[in-house]
A and B are shown apart, each in its own frame.
Chain A
Protein backbone atom coordinates (compact mmCIF):
# COMPACT_ATOMS: atom_id res chain seq x y z
CA UNK A 1 0.00 0.00 0.00
CA UNK A 2 1.09 3.56 -0.51
CA UNK A 3 1.64 5.78 2.46
CA UNK A 4 3.66 8.68 3.76
CA UNK A 5 4.41 8.68 7.46
CA UNK A 6 6.78 9.92 10.10
CA UNK A 7 8.08 8.25 13.24
CA UNK A 8 8.35 10.45 16.31
CA UNK A 9 10.07 9.84 19.63
CA UNK A 10 7.44 11.35 21.93
CA UNK A 11 3.89 12.65 22.12
CA UNK A 12 4.71 16.30 21.69
CA UNK A 13 6.46 15.74 18.38
CA UNK A 14 3.63 13.53 17.22
CA UNK A 15 1.06 16.17 18.15
CA UNK A 16 3.00 18.78 16.16
CA UNK A 17 3.08 16.45 13.18
CA UNK A 18 -0.67 15.91 13.38
CA UNK A 19 -1.22 19.68 13.54
CA UNK A 20 1.00 20.22 10.53
CA UNK A 21 -0.88 17.61 8.55
CA UNK A 22 -4.12 19.33 9.41
CA UNK A 23 -2.61 22.63 8.30
CA UNK A 24 -1.69 20.95 5.03
CA UNK A 25 -5.37 20.29 4.47
CA UNK A 26 -5.60 16.59 5.44
CA UNK A 27 -8.84 15.73 7.20
CA UNK A 28 -8.76 13.95 10.56
CA UNK A 29 -10.23 10.83 9.08
CA UNK A 30 -7.30 10.42 6.72
CA UNK A 31 -4.62 10.84 9.36
CA UNK A 32 -3.35 7.58 10.78
CA UNK A 33 -1.80 7.66 14.25
CA UNK A 34 -0.24 4.59 15.83
CA UNK A 35 1.18 4.57 19.34
CA UNK A 36 2.72 1.86 21.52
CA UNK A 37 0.46 2.72 24.44
CA UNK A 38 -2.64 4.84 24.90
CA UNK A 39 -1.65 8.50 25.16
CA UNK A 40 -4.67 10.35 26.36
CA UNK A 41 -2.66 13.29 27.63
CA UNK A 42 -2.39 14.39 24.02
CA UNK A 43 -5.16 15.53 21.78
CA UNK A 44 -4.40 12.98 19.09
CA UNK A 45 -4.84 10.23 21.62
CA UNK A 46 -8.41 11.21 22.28
CA UNK A 47 -9.82 10.57 18.83
CA UNK A 48 -12.62 8.10 18.22
CA UNK A 49 -13.52 7.84 21.85
CA UNK A 50 -17.29 7.65 21.44
CA UNK A 51 -18.57 4.11 21.46
CA UNK A 52 -21.75 2.15 21.77
CA UNK A 53 -19.95 -0.55 23.76
CA UNK A 54 -21.62 0.19 27.08
CA UNK A 55 -25.06 -0.09 25.54
CA UNK A 56 -24.15 -3.25 23.70
CA UNK A 57 -22.85 -4.74 26.93
CA UNK A 58 -26.17 -3.96 28.61
CA UNK A 59 -27.94 -5.48 25.65
CA UNK A 60 -25.81 -8.57 25.92
CA UNK A 61 -26.73 -8.78 29.57
CA UNK A 62 -30.41 -8.63 28.71
CA UNK A 63 -29.94 -11.39 26.15
CA UNK A 64 -28.20 -13.46 28.81
CA UNK A 65 -31.00 -12.80 31.26
CA UNK A 66 -33.59 -13.85 28.71
CA UNK A 67 -31.64 -17.00 27.92
CA UNK A 68 -31.42 -17.87 31.59
CA UNK A 69 -35.11 -17.28 32.11
CA UNK A 70 -35.90 -19.44 29.14
CA UNK A 71 -33.56 -22.16 30.29
CA UNK A 72 -34.93 -22.31 33.81
CA UNK A 73 -38.58 -22.03 32.82
CA UNK A 74 -38.54 -24.47 29.96
CA UNK A 75 -36.33 -27.12 31.54
CA UNK A 76 -38.03 -27.03 34.92
CA UNK A 77 -41.58 -26.94 33.58
CA UNK A 78 -41.15 -29.51 30.84
CA UNK A 79 -40.56 -32.28 33.35
CA UNK A 80 -41.63 -31.12 36.79
CA UNK A 81 -39.64 -33.13 39.33
CA UNK A 82 -40.28 -32.81 43.05
CA UNK A 83 -37.07 -32.31 45.00
CA UNK A 84 -37.40 -31.83 48.73
CA UNK A 85 -40.75 -30.14 48.47
CA UNK A 86 -39.29 -27.12 46.68
CA UNK A 87 -41.52 -25.40 44.13
CA UNK A 88 -40.88 -26.55 40.59
CA UNK A 89 -39.95 -23.06 39.43
CA UNK A 90 -38.33 -21.48 42.48
CA UNK A 91 -37.27 -17.85 42.19
CA UNK A 92 -34.43 -17.85 44.72
CA UNK A 93 -32.30 -20.56 43.11
CA UNK A 94 -33.23 -19.53 39.58
CA UNK A 95 -32.02 -16.01 40.25
CA UNK A 96 -28.55 -17.43 40.55
CA UNK A 97 -28.70 -18.87 37.06
CA UNK A 98 -30.21 -15.61 35.85
CA UNK A 99 -27.40 -13.59 37.35
CA UNK A 100 -24.60 -15.74 35.96
CA UNK A 101 -25.92 -15.86 32.43
CA UNK A 102 -26.67 -12.12 32.49
CA UNK A 103 -23.05 -11.37 33.34
CA UNK A 104 -21.83 -13.88 30.79
CA UNK A 105 -23.95 -12.19 28.16
CA UNK A 106 -22.55 -8.78 29.04
CA UNK A 107 -18.97 -10.04 28.97
CA UNK A 108 -19.30 -11.87 25.67
CA UNK A 109 -21.10 -8.93 24.08
CA UNK A 110 -18.28 -6.62 25.19
CA UNK A 111 -15.58 -8.81 23.75
CA UNK A 112 -17.41 -9.31 20.46
CA UNK A 113 -17.92 -5.55 20.18
CA UNK A 114 -14.23 -5.02 20.84
CA UNK A 115 -13.15 -7.49 18.20
CA UNK A 116 -15.50 -6.05 15.62
CA UNK A 117 -15.02 -2.34 16.31
CA UNK A 118 -11.26 -2.52 16.72
CA UNK A 119 -11.09 -4.64 13.61
CA UNK A 120 -9.09 -7.26 15.42
CA UNK A 121 -8.17 -10.26 13.37
CA UNK A 122 -8.58 -8.41 10.13
CA UNK A 123 -5.04 -7.15 9.71
CA UNK A 124 -4.01 -4.79 6.94
CA UNK A 125 -3.61 -1.07 7.35
CA UNK A 126 -0.50 1.00 7.74
CA UNK A 127 2.01 -0.30 10.27
CA UNK A 128 5.69 -0.01 11.10
CA UNK A 129 7.42 -2.29 13.64
CA UNK A 130 9.19 0.77 15.03
CA UNK A 131 5.94 1.53 16.82
CA UNK A 132 6.53 -1.27 19.32
CA UNK A 133 9.98 0.17 19.93
CA UNK A 134 8.33 3.27 21.32
CA UNK A 135 7.94 5.45 18.26
CA UNK A 136 4.69 7.14 17.42
CA UNK A 137 3.63 6.92 13.80
CA UNK A 138 1.75 9.77 12.16
CA UNK A 139 0.94 9.47 8.49
CA UNK A 140 -1.46 9.36 5.59
CA UNK A 141 -2.50 6.22 3.77
CA UNK A 142 -2.98 6.33 -0.02
CA UNK A 143 -2.12 10.00 -0.48
CA UNK A 144 -2.68 11.79 -3.74
CA UNK A 145 0.45 11.50 -5.87
CA UNK A 146 0.80 15.23 -6.15
CA UNK A 147 0.49 15.83 -2.45
CA UNK A 148 3.33 13.54 -1.37
CA UNK A 149 6.16 16.12 -1.34
CA UNK A 150 4.01 18.51 0.69
CA UNK A 151 3.20 15.81 3.20
CA UNK A 152 6.81 14.79 3.48
CA UNK A 153 7.75 18.35 4.19
CA UNK A 154 5.01 18.77 6.78
CA UNK A 155 5.94 15.58 8.58
CA UNK A 156 9.65 16.22 8.37
CA UNK A 157 9.43 19.72 9.71
CA UNK A 158 9.05 18.42 13.25
CA UNK A 159 12.26 17.88 15.18
CA UNK A 160 13.67 14.32 15.26
CA UNK A 161 11.23 13.10 12.64
CA UNK A 162 11.99 10.04 10.57
CA UNK A 163 9.92 10.27 7.44
CA UNK A 164 9.23 7.27 5.28
CA UNK A 165 7.36 6.84 2.07
CA UNK A 166 6.12 3.44 0.93
Chain B
Protein backbone atom coordinates (compact mmCIF):
# COMPACT_ATOMS: atom_id res chain seq x y z
CA UNK B 1 0.00 0.00 0.00
CA UNK B 2 1.62 3.29 -0.98
CA UNK B 3 1.88 6.16 1.44
CA UNK B 4 1.84 9.45 -0.41
CA UNK B 5 4.10 12.24 0.77
CA UNK B 6 5.85 15.35 -0.39
CA UNK B 7 9.16 17.05 0.07
CA UNK B 8 9.51 20.82 -0.21
CA UNK B 9 13.00 22.13 -0.85
CA UNK B 10 13.06 25.63 0.60
CA UNK B 11 16.42 26.23 -1.00
CA UNK B 12 14.86 25.95 -4.42
CA UNK B 13 11.61 27.79 -3.76
CA UNK B 14 11.72 31.37 -4.98
CA UNK B 15 8.17 32.30 -4.03
CA UNK B 16 6.95 32.68 -7.60
CA UNK B 17 3.50 31.36 -6.80
CA UNK B 18 3.16 29.13 -9.85
CA UNK B 19 2.09 26.31 -7.57
CA UNK B 20 -0.77 28.40 -6.23
CA UNK B 21 -2.00 29.27 -9.70
CA UNK B 22 -1.70 25.69 -10.92
CA UNK B 23 -3.60 24.44 -7.92
CA UNK B 24 -6.42 26.85 -8.54
CA UNK B 25 -6.61 25.79 -12.15
CA UNK B 26 -6.44 22.06 -11.50
CA UNK B 27 -8.85 21.92 -8.58
CA UNK B 28 -11.51 24.36 -9.72
CA UNK B 29 -10.84 26.77 -6.90
CA UNK B 30 -12.56 30.05 -7.57
CA UNK B 31 -10.98 33.37 -6.78
CA UNK B 32 -13.12 35.45 -4.48
CA UNK B 33 -12.31 39.00 -5.47
CA UNK B 34 -10.26 41.62 -3.69
CA UNK B 35 -13.00 42.54 -1.26
CA UNK B 36 -13.66 39.05 0.00
CA UNK B 37 -9.97 38.20 -0.02
CA UNK B 38 -9.37 41.14 2.29
CA UNK B 39 -12.06 39.69 4.53
CA UNK B 40 -10.22 36.39 4.68
CA UNK B 41 -12.28 34.30 2.29
CA UNK B 42 -9.56 33.36 -0.19
CA UNK B 43 -9.14 29.64 -0.67
CA UNK B 44 -5.50 28.96 -1.45
CA UNK B 45 -5.15 25.23 -0.98
CA UNK B 46 -1.44 25.78 -1.31
CA UNK B 47 -0.16 29.14 -0.25
CA UNK B 48 3.30 30.68 -0.28
CA UNK B 49 3.98 32.08 3.16
CA UNK B 50 6.33 34.99 3.05
CA UNK B 51 8.25 36.10 6.10
CA UNK B 52 10.54 39.03 6.64
CA UNK B 53 13.32 38.44 9.11
CA UNK B 54 15.43 41.17 10.65
CA UNK B 55 15.35 44.95 10.33
CA UNK B 56 16.26 47.10 7.40
CA UNK B 57 18.86 47.00 5.82
CA UNK B 58 19.61 43.46 7.04
CA UNK B 59 16.29 42.08 5.95
CA UNK B 60 15.96 38.54 4.79
CA UNK B 61 13.00 37.22 2.87
CA UNK B 62 11.95 33.63 3.25
CA UNK B 63 9.26 31.65 1.46
CA UNK B 64 7.46 28.58 2.51
CA UNK B 65 4.77 26.88 0.48
CA UNK B 66 2.21 25.38 2.85
CA UNK B 67 -0.45 22.88 1.81
CA UNK B 68 -2.37 20.22 3.65
CA UNK B 69 0.22 18.15 5.44
CA UNK B 70 -1.91 14.96 5.25
CA UNK B 71 -1.02 14.21 8.85
CA UNK B 72 -0.96 10.67 10.19
CA UNK B 73 -2.37 11.94 13.47
CA UNK B 74 -4.52 14.55 11.85
CA UNK B 75 -6.30 16.63 14.50
CA UNK B 76 -8.93 17.53 11.92
CA UNK B 77 -10.17 13.97 11.61
CA UNK B 78 -11.54 12.88 14.99
CA UNK B 79 -13.49 16.09 15.38
CA UNK B 80 -15.55 15.91 12.22
CA UNK B 81 -19.04 14.78 13.28
CA UNK B 82 -19.90 13.18 9.96
CA UNK B 83 -16.64 11.47 8.96
CA UNK B 84 -16.26 13.95 6.10
CA UNK B 85 -12.63 14.27 7.16
CA UNK B 86 -10.98 10.90 7.56
CA UNK B 87 -7.80 9.02 6.76
CA UNK B 88 -7.46 6.81 3.72
CA UNK B 89 -5.40 3.64 3.56
CA UNK B 90 -2.84 5.30 1.31
CA UNK B 91 -2.07 7.99 3.87
CA UNK B 92 -4.19 10.86 2.60
CA UNK B 93 -6.55 12.94 4.65
CA UNK B 94 -9.73 12.73 2.65
CA UNK B 95 -12.28 15.50 2.54
CA UNK B 96 -15.66 14.27 1.39
CA UNK B 97 -17.58 17.29 0.20
CA UNK B 98 -20.87 15.47 0.07
CA UNK B 99 -20.68 14.49 3.70
CA UNK B 100 -19.58 17.85 5.04
CA UNK B 101 -22.20 19.84 6.92
CA UNK B 102 -19.88 22.76 7.55
CA UNK B 103 -19.26 22.81 11.30
CA UNK B 104 -15.73 24.09 10.56
CA UNK B 105 -14.35 22.26 13.57
CA UNK B 106 -11.73 20.61 11.38
CA UNK B 107 -10.44 23.99 10.30
CA UNK B 108 -10.13 25.14 13.88
CA UNK B 109 -8.29 21.98 14.82
CA UNK B 110 -5.84 22.23 11.95
CA UNK B 111 -2.67 23.83 13.29
CA UNK B 112 -1.51 24.68 9.77
CA UNK B 113 -4.70 26.54 8.85
CA UNK B 114 -4.87 24.72 5.53
CA UNK B 115 -8.60 24.09 5.53
CA UNK B 116 -10.95 26.46 3.78
CA UNK B 117 -14.67 27.08 3.94
CA UNK B 118 -16.83 27.88 0.96
CA UNK B 119 -18.48 31.09 2.01
CA UNK B 120 -20.35 31.53 -1.22
CA UNK B 121 -21.25 29.40 -4.16
CA UNK B 122 -18.33 29.60 -6.56
CA UNK B 123 -18.63 31.70 -9.65
CA UNK B 124 -16.44 32.09 -12.68
CA UNK B 125 -16.74 34.97 -15.12
CA UNK B 126 -17.30 33.72 -18.62
CA UNK B 127 -15.34 32.34 -20.48
CA UNK B 128 -13.27 31.07 -17.53
CA UNK B 129 -16.00 28.56 -16.75
CA UNK B 130 -14.82 26.66 -19.80
CA UNK B 131 -11.45 25.87 -18.25
CA UNK B 132 -12.88 23.94 -15.29
CA UNK B 133 -11.34 20.53 -14.69
CA UNK B 134 -13.98 17.83 -15.21
CA UNK B 135 -12.10 15.48 -12.85
CA UNK B 136 -12.72 17.64 -9.83
CA UNK B 137 -16.15 18.37 -8.34
CA UNK B 138 -17.33 21.88 -7.63
CA UNK B 139 -17.98 22.57 -3.98
CA UNK B 140 -21.18 24.30 -2.98
CA UNK B 141 -21.48 26.91 -0.27
CA UNK B 142 -21.11 25.58 3.24
CA UNK B 143 -18.53 22.82 2.80
CA UNK B 144 -14.88 22.59 3.71
CA UNK B 145 -12.18 22.03 1.13
CA UNK B 146 -8.42 21.65 1.14
CA UNK B 147 -5.43 20.26 -0.69
CA UNK B 148 -5.90 16.61 -1.64
CA UNK B 149 -2.44 15.98 -3.12
CA UNK B 150 -4.42 16.09 -6.37
CA UNK B 151 -6.10 12.82 -5.53
CA UNK B 152 -7.75 12.83 -8.97
CA UNK B 153 -4.30 12.57 -10.57
CA UNK B 154 -3.22 9.90 -8.09
CA UNK B 155 -6.29 7.88 -8.88
CA UNK B 156 -5.95 8.37 -12.63
CA UNK B 157 -2.35 7.16 -12.66
CA UNK B 158 -2.91 4.24 -10.33
CA UNK B 159 -5.92 3.09 -12.29
CA UNK B 160 -4.00 3.35 -15.55
CA UNK B 161 -1.05 1.49 -14.04
CA UNK B 162 -3.35 -1.26 -12.82
CA UNK B 163 -4.92 -1.52 -16.24
CA UNK B 164 -1.45 -1.75 -17.78
CA UNK B 165 -0.50 -4.32 -15.14
CA UNK B 166 2.56 -2.47 -14.01
CA UNK B 167 3.57 -0.62 -10.85
CA UNK B 168 3.36 3.14 -10.64
CA UNK B 169 6.73 4.64 -11.47
CA UNK B 170 8.28 7.21 -9.21
CA UNK B 171 7.56 10.67 -10.55
CA UNK B 172 4.65 9.47 -12.64
CA UNK B 173 2.13 11.15 -10.36
CA UNK B 174 2.62 14.87 -10.38
CA UNK B 175 0.22 17.04 -8.37
CA UNK B 176 -0.47 20.32 -10.12
CA UNK B 177 1.82 22.28 -7.80
CA UNK B 178 4.77 19.93 -8.28
CA UNK B 179 4.21 19.89 -12.00
CA UNK B 180 4.10 23.66 -12.27
CA UNK B 181 7.03 24.49 -10.01
CA UNK B 182 9.79 25.89 -12.24
CA UNK B 183 12.47 25.27 -9.61
CA UNK B 184 11.36 21.73 -8.94
CA UNK B 185 11.06 22.55 -5.27
CA UNK B 186 8.05 20.29 -4.76
CA UNK B 187 8.58 16.57 -5.00
CA UNK B 188 5.75 14.06 -4.68
CA UNK B 189 5.90 10.32 -4.33
CA UNK B 190 5.44 7.16 -2.37
CA UNK B 191 7.09 7.27 1.08
CA UNK B 192 6.78 3.49 1.35
CA UNK B 193 9.13 3.09 -1.60
CA UNK B 194 12.68 3.55 -0.25
CA UNK B 195 13.99 4.31 -3.74
CA UNK B 196 11.60 7.13 -4.50
CA UNK B 197 12.85 10.69 -4.63
CA UNK B 198 10.54 11.83 -1.88
CA UNK B 199 11.71 9.04 0.44
CA UNK B 200 15.33 9.98 -0.02
CA UNK B 201 14.60 13.67 0.40
CA UNK B 202 12.57 13.17 3.54
CA UNK B 203 15.55 11.41 5.13
CA UNK B 204 17.82 14.33 4.33
CA UNK B 205 19.62 15.99 7.27
CA UNK B 206 18.13 19.25 6.08
CA UNK B 207 14.68 17.83 6.48
CA UNK B 208 12.18 18.62 9.21
CA UNK B 209 8.45 18.64 9.64
CA UNK B 210 6.37 21.73 10.13
CA UNK B 211 5.17 22.14 13.74
CA UNK B 212 6.63 18.74 14.49
CA UNK B 213 6.29 19.09 18.26
CA UNK B 214 2.50 19.09 17.98
CA UNK B 215 2.60 15.40 17.18
CA UNK B 216 0.52 15.56 14.01
CA UNK B 217 3.08 13.44 12.06
CA UNK B 218 2.71 15.26 8.74
CA UNK B 219 3.60 13.61 5.44
CA UNK B 220 5.37 16.69 4.11
CA UNK B 221 9.06 17.23 4.76
CA UNK B 222 10.56 20.68 4.51
CA UNK B 223 14.20 20.84 3.46
CA UNK B 224 15.85 23.71 5.19
CA UNK B 225 17.16 26.66 3.26
CA UNK B 226 20.90 26.88 3.36
CA UNK B 227 21.50 30.36 2.02
* A residues with CB within 8 A of B: 81-86
What are the residues of chain B within 8 A of A82 when measuring CB–CB? 77, 86-89
Contact between chains at A86 and B83 (CB < 8 Å): no
A-B contact pairs, 19 of them (CB 8 A): A81-B83, A81-B86, A81-B87, A82-B77, A82-B87, A83-B74, A83-B77, A83-B80, A83-B83, A83-B85, A83-B86, A84-B71, A84-B73, A84-B75, A84-B76, A84-B78, A85-B72, A85-B74, A85-B217
Can you name the residue of chain B whose Cβ is closest to the Cβ of A83?
Answer: B77
What are the residues of chain A within 8 A of B71 when measuring CB–CB? 84
B interface, by DSSP: helix, strand, loop or mixed?
A: loop
Task: Kindly provide the distance from the CB of A125 to the nearest chain B CB, expressed in whole angstroms.
Answer: 49
Sorting the interface of chain B by its residue count into under 10, 10 to 19, 20 to 34 or 35 or more gives 10 to 19
What are the residues of chain B within 8 A of A84 when measuring CB–CB? 71, 73-78, 87
Can you name the residue of chain B whose Cβ is closest to the Cβ of A79?
Answer: B83
What are the residues of chain B within 8 A of A83 when measuring CB–CB? 74, 77-78, 80, 83, 85-87
Task: Kindly provide the distance from the CB of B96 to the nearest chain A CB, expressed in whole angstroms.
Answer: 11
Could you mark each residue 84-96 of chain B with 1 if its beta carbon is under 8 Å from any beta carbon of chain A, else 0? 0111110000000
Can you name the residue of chain A whose Cβ is closest to the Cβ of B89?
Answer: A82
What are the residues of chain A within 8 A of B78 when measuring CB–CB? 83-84, 86
Can you name the residue of chain B whose Cβ is closest to the Cβ of A90?
Answer: B78
What are the residues of chain A within 8 A of B217 when measuring CB–CB? 85
A84 to B75, CA, bound (A): 6
Since A83-B86, A86-B78 are in contact, a sample of 5 more A-B pairs with Cβ atoms closer than 8 Å, ordered by chain A residue number, is A82-B88, A83-B74, A83-B83, A84-B71, A84-B78
